[in-house]
Amino acid sequence: MSNTAVQAPVQEFKVFEESEDSRVYRHTTSHILAQAVKHLFPEAKLAIGPAVDNGFYYDFDLEHRFTDEDLAALEKEMKKITKQNIPLERFELPREEAIKFMEEKDEPYKVELIRDLPDDAVISFYKQGDFTDLCAGPHKGSTGAIKAIKLTSVAGAYWRGDVNNKMLQRIYGTSFPKQAMLDDYLNMIEEAKKRDHRKIGKEMDLFALYDEGPGFPFFMPRGMVIRNELEAFWRKAHVERGYQEIKTPLILNEDLWHRSGHWDHYQNNMYFTKIDDGDYAIKPMNCPGSMLVYKRKLYSYRDFPIRMGELGQVHRHELSGALHGLMRVRTFTQDDAHIFMLKEQIKDEIIGVIDFIDYVYKLFGFPYHVELSTRPEDSMGSEEDWELATNGLKEALEEKGIEYVINEGDGAFYGPKIDFHLEDCIGRTWQCGTIQLDFQMPQRFDLTYIGSDGEKHRPVMIHRVIFGSIERFIGILTEHFAGKFPLWLAPTQVKILTVTEQFNDYAAELEQKFREAGLRVETDGRNEKIGYKIREARNQRDPYILVVGEKEKEAGTITVRSSKEGELGEMTPDALIAKLTEEIETKAC
């Protein structure tokens, strides 16, 4: 597999977003927003205004509630400021002078920020014309560097993220060096709205989220078809690659999570309960269960590699404001696997997983790029083990000829990892697959095997997912295909529509024939106009719509319309069944 086989084409605006300059650029734009707000609403108090992924925001304390009309006026004022090409000038003040300076400007939030800085901190400000802000920088040289601006929304935000503090108003926006980049970005956002999996999921009756269980999705019968097909594909592909499937419990005692290291590194994201006066945790990850499965017997070096796969449901606490359809939930199913191996098998096993992930993403038509994440500050284990693990991942990537970016300090607490960021059809990226090499858990659980010398040795292990989360992957697929799933995944593969009710008997015969061929088929025999039925079937994104009337019944045929190929005309049922069977078997997308 060459790197060209997996590298996604990159749009110009995305190249900018991934550059180091983008955050400086957006941070400068946030200052221009703050200056515009102070021009139009002088009574506004300034909080903070950082650059974030895809844009920036600034928080304001203002009695007036910002409206869409205000955003338009602020955009106009910001463009006026950029045309003035005002220099941004940095200066520093001693701590007490800085406090006095902000007090004179009646900026209480800035005063609070300064008071929280160390006594010996360098306190810097940036001035642009009639506006000055507390800021560490860096910034662009002048407001004229900012060429294209869009304010996107207003939201509430507690000061310093603390619910006990005052609710401020947060204005979000983005900016680019070219108007064409901004246009491309906004077009992508608009297309994303049309493809929103929450909207499509409701229209197609795939899943639902209820107030009785925020962040805990319900799957409807049609959604379960997609889920079951994905899981069946997962199982078959894993059996073909030598994996054994296991299932571990949802709840295990607290001691296990101390042993695994999750208690020290992850407890704030966990749920807990009591059983028989003992403390238990609802699992946030599947790996400790796999450790116990491994420990049930003593292995020989001849048994390796041992590949265990699990579709394991996990629960993780997410803040309510972070929940988003199937993309961010509080319970999900990881397509997990844990591979136990000898040190000399590390590279080959990692290459095997890379090839597996490549196979799956290509099947769905996803290009992807790769990041290698190194040791975080909050980690466990020796420097020697981390270096060995990191080099093992590097060697595998380099042998496959895959370009990768180093993501310093973003590894798991127990080992470095390779992350796969797939790209959907409108250019958005999603981190799904991951390969984590772990020397720590085998030590913490005292995993051993009998080596060729008859002595006990310690295995190495890989943590690995491909979909990442079944729920999230379904959300991604829903948006990628805009609900028009490949035939093998479609909840209803064939929809039979009768011109009038007198052809319902013929439709019933056809339905039985398609069902016996293993196809998912439904008939709409209602006394409705055929145009209405066709529109409804299209809204349900059914891949094949069959119309039957007098002509079709007499000839023993069907008139076929494909959502991908358009009108296919008259066909015999057997010819269509053969076509659909081949499309399903090849999993064509």
Least confidently predicted of 59-73, 429-443, 495-509: 429-443
Closest CA to 445 of 282, 255, 302, 175: 255
Quick: pLDDT tens for 106-134: 999 999 999 999 888 889 999 999 999 99
- pLDDT at position 2 is 37
Per-residue pLDDT, averaged over 142-152, amounts to 96
Tell me the chain's radius of gyration from C-alpha atoms.
Answer: 29
- pLDDT at position 7 is 44
Per annotation, catalytic residue among 369, 463, 464, 541: 463
Closest CA to 345 of 302, 289, 291: 302
With 60 as the cut, is the pLDDT of residue 364 above it? yes
- Judge whether 297 counts as a catalytic residue: no
Buried b (16+ CB within 10 A) or exposed e, 258-281: eebbbeebbeeebeeeeeeeeebb
pTM of the model: 0.84
Per annotation, catalytic residue among 38, 170, 227, 316: 316
With 80 as the cut, is the pLDDT of residue 524 above it? yes
With 80 as the cut, is the pLDDT of residue 5 above it? no
- Judge whether 170 counts as a catalytic residue: no
- pLDDT at position 19 is 83
With 60 as the cut, is the pLDDT of residue 8 above it? no
Using pLDDT thresholds of 50, 70 and 90, give the confidence band for residue 10. Answer: low
Per annotation, catalytic residue among 59, 335, 336, 542: 336
- Judge whether 64 counts as a catalytic residue: no
- Judge whether 463 counts as a catalytic residue: yes
Per annotation, catalytic residue among 227, 338, 464, 520: 338
- pLDDT at position 414 is 80
- Judge whether 115 counts as a catalytic residue: no
- pLDDT at position 223 is 98
**Mean residue pLDDT across the chain:** 93
- Judge whether 417 counts as a catalytic residue: yes
Q: How many CA atoms lie within 13 A of 73 on its CB side?
A: 10
Per annotation, catalytic residue among 110, 283, 417, 520: 417
Measure the CA–CA gap between 513 and 521, rounded to whole angstroms. Answer: 10
Spatial neighbors of 574 by CB under 8 A, at least 6 apart, are none
Using pLDDT thresholds of 50, 70 and 90, give the confidence band for residue 6. Answer: very low
With 50 as the cut, is the pLDDT of residue 42 above it? yes
Per annotation, catalytic residue among 128, 169, 334, 493: 334
Using pLDDT thresholds of 50, 70 and 90, give the confidence band for residue 584. Answer: very high
Per-residue pLDDT, averaged over 558-584, amounts to 95
Quick: pLDDT tens for 74-102: 999 999 999 999 999 999 999 999 999 99
What percentage of residues in the chain have a pLDDT greater than 90?
A: 84
Between β-strands 521-524 and 460-465, what pairing exists: parallel, antiparallel or unpaired? unpaired
Question: DSSP label at 3?
Answer: G
- Judge whether 287 counts as a catalytic residue: yes
Query: Which amino acid is present at 521?
Result: V
What percentage of residues in the chain have a pLDDT greater than 70?
A: 98
- pLDDT at position 66 is 97
Per-residue pLDDT, averaged over 174-191, amounts to 93
Using pLDDT thresholds of 50, 70 and 90, give the confidence band for residue 3. Answer: very low
Measure the CA–CA gap between 210 and 181, rounded to whole angstroms. Answer: 38
What percent helix, strand, coil does the chain show, rounded to 5? 40, 25, 30
Quick: pLDDT tens for 264-311: 888 899 999 999 999 999 999 999 999 999 999 999 999 999 999 999
What tokens appear for 301 in the block? 């070096």
Per-residue pLDDT, averaged over 345-371, amounts to 94
- pLDDT at position 22 is 93
Quick: pLDDT tens for 53-80: 889 999 999 999 999 999 999 999 999 9
Per-residue pLDDT, averaged over 39-53, amounts to 96
Which has more pLDDT, 21 or 6? 21
Neighbours of 555 (CB within 10 A): 10
- pLDDT at position 166 is 95
